[in-house]
Each structure stands twice: as C-alpha cells, then as structure tokens.
Amino acid sequence: MTLANISGVVMDMDGVLWRGDVQLPGVHEWFSLLRTRAIPFALATNNSTKTPTDYVDKLAHFGIDGVKPHQIITSSTTTVDYLRKHYPAGTKVYVVGGDGLRTLLVEAGFQLADDAQLVVAGLDPQLTYAKLKQATLLIRAGAEFIGTNDDRTFPTAEGLAPGAGSVLAAIQTATDQKPRTMGKPNAPMFEAALAILGTDAEHTLMIGDRLETDIAGAQRVGYRTALVLTGVATADDVDQGTIKPDTIYADLDALRGDFI
C-alpha cells in the first residue's frame, strides 16, 4: 500500500498519537508528510470527555499546530448529531459523562436535567454510584438509553483503564436495556470523516490501535486500514482473531517509512 493510492487519512488519537500525556513516536514526522503531500486528514476518537476545541489545544501542546475543530470527530459529536436529528432543542438529557459531552449537548440546545427522557452515557472520570442509580431509574421508567461508545478500556500512560463500555455495562446490567451506541465501529463516525475529507472510502486510510472499533468499523464502510501497535491491539491479537487490517506497523514512524 502506498500513498499514491490514498487520497485522505483518518486517524484515531488515543493509542495512535499519544497515550495519556505521552506523545508516541513519529507523530510530527507523519503530520509533516501529510501536509507536504497535501493529503487531507481528519481525527476520529471514541473519547467523549473532550470537545474538538479541547483536542485542538492538546495537539498544539504536542507541537501539532493548524488543526481545526471541524477536522476532529468524537463519539460526543456523533452522539449530538444523532440527538439533533431525532429530538428537538430543549429536550431534557441526563448525562453520565465528562465535561466535553456536557458542553456539546448544551451548545446544541439540550437541557441537562435529572428528570430526563434521555440518558446519555460515556466515559465519566467523576463516575459515582449516585449517577449510575439515577441513570438506572430513568431508563427503567422509559428513558431512551444512548451510549457514546462501547470501548471497554482505553490506553493511558499507566496502562489500560476502564472505558465508556465499562460504564455502559454497569447501566445495562442494572436496567436490562442495551444502549444505542454512536461511536466506532458504527458507520456514522466514518461517514462523517469522509464528508469532511471529500474522499471515497476506497481511497481513504484509517489508522487505529483497536481491531474491534477502528479497523472493523472502517472496513465495513470500505476504508483501507492500518493498525499501529502503540495502543490496545497486539500482533498476537491479529494472529488469533478474525479482524485483519490491511497493514500492521509498530508505530506511526514505521508507517511513514513505508510511504516515503
């Protein structure tokens, strides 16, 4: 696979560009290559705790300047897009999630409330039993259960930590209700990226660190795929599993070397 066949690139962030606050190898060089070749890119993450603007700031902190908020898709932005299409502004929403999710919901005109007809849950760094209880009571009373994404874990500098899927599992266990999830591997996030890039799936490369979300979801939409081994998935996972990326690299530096 060469960049001659690729007209756009979509990248995950956690486990691809960084782990926690630690930047991963080859990031600057990879962005430089994309810009030198004038290849459009988008960033797609299932992390729902931050807004696109937060990610622009984090990228700048790592010395990656010039990325615009509209180039960043999160499971929160995808969730808000879904809610806008199906519920009017002012609809009450109970949130189990981070500040980024809350901010986007308020900006979209939704009302955060304890007596809500919607429960939206994702990764919540301040998760409490009280939040789980309130979500459970609302769903059992008929509220729709929406999940930002169902990643069981996410990579940090210390290792794998509980992800949004762990939060959803707790609520699902208590309610016997499966959430409607919005993030990868579901198609809306990948389709949104193609709209941003103006490319077709066949000539778009997805770079990720998770087989079941980044790679499987992209393949269903028709993307080319590259797995980097700097996050969750290992080479053994590929060997022993059924999801097979087009290519596998140790990190972005190795991927870039294959495209020079």
Distances (CA, A) of 97 to 54, 123, 144, 184: 16, 5, 16, 17
14 in active site: yes
The C-alpha angle 197, 65, 223, rounded to 5 degrees, equals: 25
Length of the chain: 260
**What's the rounded Cα separation, in Å, for the pair 185 and 223?**
12
**What's the rounded Cα separation, in Å, for the pair 116 and 110?**
11
**What's the rounded Cα separation, in Å, for the pair 124 and 98?**
5
- Partnered with residue 94 across adjacent β-strands are 119
- Residue 226 tokens, joined: 């590259």
Identify which of 198, 205, 212 has the alpha carbon closest to the alpha carbon of residue 241.
Answer: 212
Active-site residues: which are they?
A: 12, 14
